Amino acid sequence: MKDSKSPHNWIAKHIAALPKSGIRDFFELVSSMDGVISLGIGEPDFVTPWHIREATIYALNTGYTSYTSNLGDLRLRKEVSKYAAANFGITYNPEDECIITVGVSEGLDLLLRAVLNPGDEVLYHEPCYVSYAPGIRMTHAVPIPVQTYEKYDFVLQVEHLEEKVTPRSKVLLLNYPNNPTGAGLTLEDKRKLAEFAIKHDLLVISDEIYEELNYIPRSHSIASLPGMHERCVVLNGFSKAYAMTGYRIAYALGNAAIIDAMMKIHQYSMLCASSIAQAAAIEALKHGASQREEMRQEYEQRRNLIVKRFNQMGLNCFMPRGAFYVFPRISASGMSSHEFATRLLHEKKVAVVPGTAFGSCGEGFVRCSYATSMQDIEIALQRIGEFIGHC
Amino acid sequence: MQKLQKDILNLLRRNARISNQEIADRLDSKVEKIDATIKKMEEQGLILGYTAIVAEEAEQDVVRAIIEVQIQPERDSGFDNLARKLAKFPEVVAAHLVSGRYDLRLEVLGKSLQEIASFVSDKLASQDGVKSTATYFLLKKYKEAGLELAKEETHERLKVTP
């Protein structure tokens, strides 16, 4: 007879082996303290624009509360397809090349599960969003991080990719504009990465959740470049551009075979995204442009201010091209990222996230979100200045 | 108008007490340039003044009314002469020529209902060229200058998120 298992032993080995998000411990610590000003929040500080909330209420009032098709309400898919053509220069058929997901997080999970076999390798850049390596591991594939550097504006370099690519490489995963660095891709950057993907026959996953928060001249999605339409899946959503994080609503655009494979997983696990969130998303795409742009401008102005102040303090700060994060280098303080963040929290009650939460090459940096009120940003910057002065 | 002027006006319209240093930092400009641009706009009359948006509790001894006025346009000057004349009354805090059923929309301010009533009968309705008036007393303020008076309950976000 088998020995009975302890609760711990019930856990699947590959899940037990997953590290918890580096942000988790820090979150617990910050939550236990009062009076903290947090630059650690990865979501907009704006409330969802009223017209979108009103459309949500209307959806409830009119009883739009049943399942939608697995791929998502066709009206929303049509709006997404139209929007992507106009804004990202990519054409995907709303009927079979678009799926509505519960956040880009679900979209990425579906996609990784849909395309990866055990042992396949996924190339991606670090620093990066916290879910990439765990998401890849959960499919029994192999995460292959490729370091990005401040001197290259945290843009993934083809020569560094060439060092890591192998015959088992299957996917190139990109997130620009980037969380946590704020890096962005120029058209030339996109061309080089596209060429590399074609040369090595890689599927490109482009997580473009911050695409609407762009502070450099916009260029079309990497998926719009020659030879990329079929080998690219674009992930985007409503959380950042329309301040709709709690709605959990996003989409994936890609060729029909891949979208169909994603849909298989989605239908057995999620069935469909929330109908009322889908109604809200339709409203956002139809009438959200002006408030979206207002929020983008506000982020851009905060970025200008915060970067200038960090540089004045002597903490060298890369000028972000997008998203709402700055990633100042703090090594001049003589502290590690973790020590800096922990001491800053205890001594000055300002929360920033250690760069190492986004990959080991984030050592020497911290991530500060400027998706918080200018008032709080000013106070936080003043306290950080005092903290640096005392070190 | 230049882009910098527009950007400055947008910031001042949202918060007239914003410092010129913050304007400079937000717009990635120099504070001297912001000082000079604002001064120039004041001199040119592009910026006419700065005002505060106050809550109703702060002006309890004040009565406001909207008055719709129909007037007889004059040959050559149209509505302008009379409109400018009416706008001169200190009780009138805003005056617009509007499209629609009537011609002028005045916002007037007084210490009491009686004060506004006598302004309408003595000063306004009796003017040559004023054909009719309709007075609407403002009972409660919900929004002014883009600001809602009842602040939404703020929802606390998680302190640290990825």
Residue B65: closest CA among B122, B142, B134: B134
Total domains present in chain B: 2
Closest chain B CA to residue A302:
B26
Q: Are residues B126 and B99 in the same domain?
A: yes
Q: Are residues B113 and B67 in the same domain?
A: yes
Residue B85 lies in a domain: yes
Query: What tens digit of pLDDT does each residue of A285-301 get?
Result: 999 999 999 999 999 99
Residue A314: CA count within 13 A, CB half-sphere: 10
CATH of domain A51-287: 3.40.640.10
Q: How confident is the model at residue A218 (pLDDT cuts 50, 70, 90)?
A: confident
CB contact under 8 A, A130 and B160: no
What average pLDDT does the segment A307-312 reach? 95
Query: What tens digit of pLDDT does each residue of A16-56 get?
Result: 999 888 788 888 889 999 999 999 999 999 999 999 999 99
Q: Are residues B68 and B39 in the same domain?
A: no
Q: Chain B residues with CB inside 8 Å of A305's CB?
A: 22, 25-26
Among B26, B152, B159, the residue with its CB nearest the CB of A40 is: B159
> What angle in degrees, to the nearest 10, is found between the helix axes of A289-313 and A374-390?
20
Q: Are residues B61 and B88 in the same domain?
A: yes
Q: Are residues B69 and B132 in the same domain?
A: yes
| A124–B contact, CB cutoff 8 A | no
Residue A240: closest CA among B64, B118, B17, B161: B161
Residue B49 lies in a domain: no
Distance CA B5, CA B37 (A): 7
Cα distance between the two ends of chain B: 41
Using an 8 Å Cβ cutoff, are A351 and B159 in contact?
Answer: yes
What average pLDDT does the segment A359-371 reach? 97
CB contact under 8 A, A30 and B155: no
Domain layout of chain A by residue ranges: 10-47+291-390, 51-287
pLDDT surpasses 90 at B78: yes
- Output the pLDDT for position A125: 98
Q: How far is B45 from chain A (nearest CA, A)?
A: 26
Q: Are residues B66 and B133 in the same domain?
A: yes
Residue B114 lies in a domain: yes
Longest dimension (CA), chain B: 69
CB contact under 8 A, B160 and A38: yes
- Prior bond of A127 cis (ω within 30°): yes
Q: Are residues B77 and B130 in the same domain?
A: yes
Query: What tens digit of pLDDT does each residue of B81-118 get?
Result: 999 999 999 999 999 999 999 999 999 999 999 999 99
Residue B112 lies in a domain: yes
pTM score of the predicted model: 0.93
Q: What's the CATH number where B98 sits?
A: 3.30.70.920
Domain A10-47+291-390, CATH 3.40.50.300 — does that match? no
| A27–B contact, CB cutoff 8 A | yes
Among B26, B27, B161, the residue with its CB nearest the CB of A43 is: B161
- Output the pLDDT for position A345: 96
Q: What is the mean pLDDT of chain B?
A: 95
- Output the pLDDT for position A5: 74
pLDDT surpasses 70 at A3: no
**Residue B96: which domain range?**
56-139
CB contact under 8 A, A131 and B25: no
- Write out the residues of chain B at the interface with chain A, using a CB-CB cutoff of 8 A: 22, 25-28, 152, 155, 157-162
Query: What tens digit of pLDDT does each residue of A126-142 get?
Result: 999 999 999 999 999 99
A:369-388 residues touching chain B, CB 8 A cutoff: 374
What average pLDDT does the segment A159-184 reach? 98
Tell me what ipTM this predicted complex has.
0.87
Q: Are residues B81 and B20 in the same domain?
A: no
